[in-house]
Every structure is written in C-alpha cells, then in structure tokens.
Amino acid sequence: MLNEPVVGFVEYGVASKKRVRRVQQKALGAWRFGVDRLPGMVVDSVRSRVPRAGETPTPLGAARAGEMPTPLGAARAGEIPTPLGAVPPGVDLREAAQVGYAAAWLGHAGVLLRQGNTTILIDPVLSDRIGPRVGRRTIGPARLMPSPAGVERLPEVDLVLITHAHFDHLDRPTLEQLARAGATVITSKRTRRLIPRGFGSVIELHWDGVIEVGGVRVSALRPEHWGGRTAVDLVRGCNSYMIESGDRQTLAPGDTAETDEFASVGAVDLACFGIGAYEPSAHHHATPEQVWRMFRGMPGRELLPIHHSTFAISGEHVDEPMARLLVAAGEEVQRVVRVEPGDIWVPGE
C-alpha cells in the first residue's frame, strides 16, 4: 500500500518519504476522528429529514428545550451543539454580479467572488448534509444552519474553483446543480473524474500552474494539507489559488496547516482563510492564531474567515474559532471581515 502513494508523490515532484509519511498520518488522524463519530452520524442521517426553509436542522443529541447545549469539545459521539443562530433563507445573491469586486461567504468553505467581470465560486457546498451517499441518503454531518441561498439565487457562474476532493469542499450534488456549458471548473490533480458532467470544461491545475479564464488569472499554490476523497485515497492533489485581475488580488488557501507558502504572494485585497476544524487536526487545519500569522506575513489587506460554524467536523466549540481569531487580531481587528453567510462584502463598505 505504501508503494502507490510514493509513485503518486514522485509524479507531483515530491519524492520524499517523509512527506508521504506525513500525508498518511494526516489521513489516519482524520479517519480515526471520523470513525469515532460514525455511529452517531449514521443514526442521525437515517432519522433526520431535510429541514424546511428557515428551520435549523436538529441533530442527534441536540439539547432539549430549556437545556444548555453541550460544547463540541465535550460532546459524545454524534452530538452536535445548537448553532448560535439560523441564517434567514433565500438570500438573493444575484446582485453580486453587478459589483466590480465583491465576495460573499456561503457557509463553511464556500465563497462567491466577483472579480474581473467574472463570477467565481470557490468550494461551493449548498447541501444540507455532506458525506458519501448510500442509496438515497448522505451519511455525514448535517449543516448547523441552512445554506444562505440556493443555486437559483446565485448569479450565473463563470468559473468554479475546487481546492481538493474532501466531501466538505467537493460536493457533487451542488456541482450537479451548477453545471452549465458556459462554466469552467478548475480543480486539483487527479480529481477531474469526480466533477459531474455538464460543465463547458474541467481543468486540472497542479502547483505552480497558471491559467487565464475570462477576466482572471488563476495560479495554483501548494497548501499544507492532503487531497484524498477517503482515508486510503492519498494520491489526489490539493490546491490553494491566487486569483488576479487588473489591480485586484484574492487568495483562496483552501484547507491548510500553517505554512510559509503564502509569504511570497505579495499584498492581496482579500484572503479567504479557513479558521476552524483544528481540534484535533492542527497538523492539517491551521488554528486561528496561525491563520493570523500567515495573513500578516503576506501581507493581506482584509481577511475573510471561512471553514467554521457550518458543519460539526471537529472538536472545538462552534463559536471558538471566530472568538480566537478576533483576539489574535487585537488592535487590527478591523481587518477581519465579519459577515454572516449570504452577506455581500465590498471593500471600503
């Protein structure tokens, strides 16, 4: 089993057995954490129904009326805390296409970006639940708050960027709804076959690769993460992206542990860093303090915190990542973009 990952990483230009071992350790850690929660997620997936508009999903083990929810760090397998607040459903994001440069957080790692007269979606996940499908059911964690908008309330998408194949970043049901002949998908190495049919083109971009699509130039960078769809699937790629157009630069790191990869990218207008899922996985998801160090080292003008408070895929309390980031930012806290899912951010507003 070791030989296949080694061959894959030689192809990526990383022949080091040390890196292969590190990726295997990341996958094993994620697998163990998932196995601990698997029984609860299976029961929850079977018992639950799709929430109605405006309704927050009630997970297995949620607090009864009048009870305080159990913090995520102390939860038993399958338990998920009551979210801090539901997002009003049906936000209309089509107006974002009328703005020169704008972004909207879609929950978890999903970002709608308008740049260079191009409408871009980064790791869109609009489903109520993520994970593998068994029959007609998805086995995995449910959203802690509804998706802010359905596909019908998004502007027509020109470009989709997929950082890697994890279920919380490459969501096939969402991509199936987005597919159209006029849209291009850029994805990481060895993930093209996971993209549903119907897009105009699907392009695999590896580290240091550059491509121009519409009005933007997309460069692939190397995060400190791994890209497998499953714990034994170790040879798929994993990207971060720099998106450039005219005088605007946006960084989409995707999932990453702390790394100096972004120190040389120069000043960016917006960096969309993930700040959650670090407990117990800081070896492949940076802590909020590490994110702030990476952001300051670039340097970046404004930071959009993502990858938190949407799915219970880690051990920290649901509101901990944002609280820790604001403390880390200190007197520069105004550089942190504090928006709810579905809010449209425009620089200077």
The whole-angstrom separation of Cα 56 and Cα 114 is: 29
Spell out the per-residue pLDDT of the chain, length 349, in tens.
222 233 333 334 444 555 555 555 555 555 444 555 545 545 555 555 444 444 444 333 333 334 333 333 333 334 343 343 344 455 899 999 999 999 999 999 999 999 999 999 999 999 999 999 998 899 999 999 899 999 999 999 999 999 999 999 999 999 999 999 999 999 999 999 999 999 999 999 999 999 999 999 999 999 999 998 887 777 899 999 999 999 999 999 999 999 999 999 988 999 999 999 999 988 899 999 999 999 999 989 999 999 999 999 999 999 999 999 999 999 999 999 999 999 999 998 7
Domains of the chain by range and CATH? 3-47+93-345 (3.60.15.10)
pTM value > 0.85: no
- Are the CB atoms for 65 and 71 separated by under 8 Å? no
* Helix and strand counts by DSSP (H, E) for the chain: 5, 15
Beta strands in the chain (DSSP E): 102-105, 111-115, 118-122, 133-134, 137-138, 159-161, 184-187, 201-204, 210-213, 216-221, 240-245, 248-254, 268-273, 300-303, 344-345
Contact 43, 78 (CB under 8 A): yes
Structure tokens at 312: 């219970």
CA distances from 249 to 91, 103, 113, 141, 227 (A): 26, 12, 11, 33, 25
